[in-house]
Amino acid sequence: MATIGLPEVFVAFISFLVFNCSFLLKKSQSQPILKNWPFFGMLPGMLANIPRIFDFSVEVLEATNLTFSFKGSWLSGTHMLFTADPRNIHHILNLNFGNYPKGPEAKKIFNALGDRILSADMELWENLRKSNHAIFHHPDFLKLSVLVSSNTIKLKESLIPFLDNAAHEKTIIDLQDVFKRFMFDTSSILMTGYDPMSVSIEMPEVLFDEAVETGEEAFFFQVKKLSIIEEAIYYRYFKPVILWRLQSWLGIELEGKANNQKGHHKLSSHLVLLASSKHPQVFTKIRKEINTNYDPTDLEKLVYLHAALSETMRLYPPLPFNHKSPAKPDIKIVAVEIIQKYDFEVTKGDKIKPVPSVILRMKHGLSVKVTKKI
């Protein structure tokens, strides 16, 4: 009589799991609210909507009165409460702030960032906040005019010549990559006084290792792995704790891929151009406003531009799961110069697909055709 061995049992078990996961994924795609399945929890529905996770999270929160309890798989440690209710947020971040620390689980998830302000808690967080506040309000720092002067230089010497050349040659450019490079350069100028010149007509590759050799290690320590680490942190929220800890121990987690990556800071003002390109009337009003009220010393007069920036940050937040707003006045001078001089047309057929991560960016970049205004 034939006996069933351990390999056969293992194969049968794996086949059962694959079949059930496939069934649950297909069934969950048609449900706006995540269903809590036995053993798997709400993971099947979440995984089925990963490609559109930001839109899906909004749909779920709207259907659950802005507060939603997520149940992960059994023994996974991924039970969480999501809320977008202003009253809850005000209570947690203001009225009863001291009673809501990040806790040890957040530190485990953000351990790739070390003891920085994103993972710090209680007294350490307070000390980091005070030190950052002191730096950014120091008279010497304020003399730099909050990046406006360096942005102006970079606009004239790097960004404008690059866009002029792209318009003249009628080439398709990745606008996301251009702005990542631009922010990389301006941040480097601000923090170290060194310009990597990563924005140019040649668009050279700027390796992080070379940046470290020129003395930028202090600034880029936090961002050299960001493009991959942000995805790893995001998936850690939903991946069973045992699984990502095992991956970390084996050295095959997403963070492990980041050791050879170059660093870029994030800039979301290119999304203003994306949003405005779908509404030509917005561009028209902003250009009219710039031509009549443009004063580099008082950008607050540009109410249409300010509204476009604010609305874009609301619809496309650079930190989709963070309650802080990153809109800064220094973004405006960049937007003014670009909107005033150029038209952008998103390439037909280009996949505009966000990457599921703690910082919003496009998976395939943002390919556009640049046309210089006459």
What are the structural domains of the chain?
Answer: 28-100 (no CATH), 103-143 (no CATH), 149-224+262-372 (1.10.630.10)
* Angle subtended at Cα 230 by Cα 226 and Cα 233, rounded to the nearest 5 degrees: 135
- State both tokens at 283: 């561009």
Please tell me the distance from the alpha carbon of residue 108 to that of residue 175, in angstroms, as a whole number.
Answer: 34
- Taking 80 as the threshold, does the pLDDT of residue 324 lie above it? no
Q: Tell me what the mean pLDDT of segment 52-66 comes to.
A: 82
Return the pLDDT at 135.
Answer: 75
**136-178 pLDDT, tens per residue?**
777 776 666 555 555 667 788 888 899 999 998 888 888 878 8
- Taking 60 as the threshold, does the pLDDT of residue 356 lie above it? no
Return the pLDDT at 147.
Answer: 52
Label residue 268 by pLDDT band (50, 70, 90).
very low
Q: Which amino acid is at 84?
A: A
Q: Tell me what the mean pLDDT of segment 288-300 comes to.
A: 70
CB hemisphere CA count around 160 (13 angstroms): 17
| Backbone φ, ψ for residue 87 (5° rounding) | -70, -40
Percent of the chain with pLDDT over 70: 52
- Taking 70 as the threshold, does the pLDDT of residue 244 lie above it? no
Please tell me the distance from the alpha carbon of residue 298 to that of residue 74, in angstroms, as a whole number.
Answer: 56
Lowest mean pLDDT among 7-21, 88-102, 202-216, 329-343: 202-216
Q: Tell if the pTM clears 0.85, that is, is over it.
A: no
Q: Which amino acid is at 168?
A: H
Q: Tell me what the mean pLDDT of segment 292-303 comes to.
A: 69
Return the pLDDT at 334.
Answer: 59
Percent of the chain with pLDDT over 90: 0
Q: Which amino acid is at 60?
A: V
Alpha carbon 121 to its chain centroid, in Å, reads: 22
Q: Tell me what the mean pLDDT of segment 218-238 comes to.
A: 43
Q: Is 370 helix (H, G, I), strand (E, B) or coil?
A: strand
By the 8 A CB rule, do 158 and 184 touch? no
- Taking 70 as the threshold, does the pLDDT of residue 361 lie above it? no
- State both tokens at 250: 């084996």
Which is more confident, 105 or 266? Answer: 105
Residue listed under structure tokens 């095992």: 246
Q: Tell me what the mean pLDDT of segment 286-303 comes to.
A: 72
Label residue 347 by pLDDT band (50, 70, 90).
confident
Alpha carbon 346 to its chain centroid, in Å, reads: 20
* Angle subtended at Cα 155 by Cα 153 and Cα 156, rounded to the nearest 5 degrees: 70
- State both tokens at 308: 């476009």
Q: Is 7 helix (H, G, I), strand (E, B) or coil?
A: helix
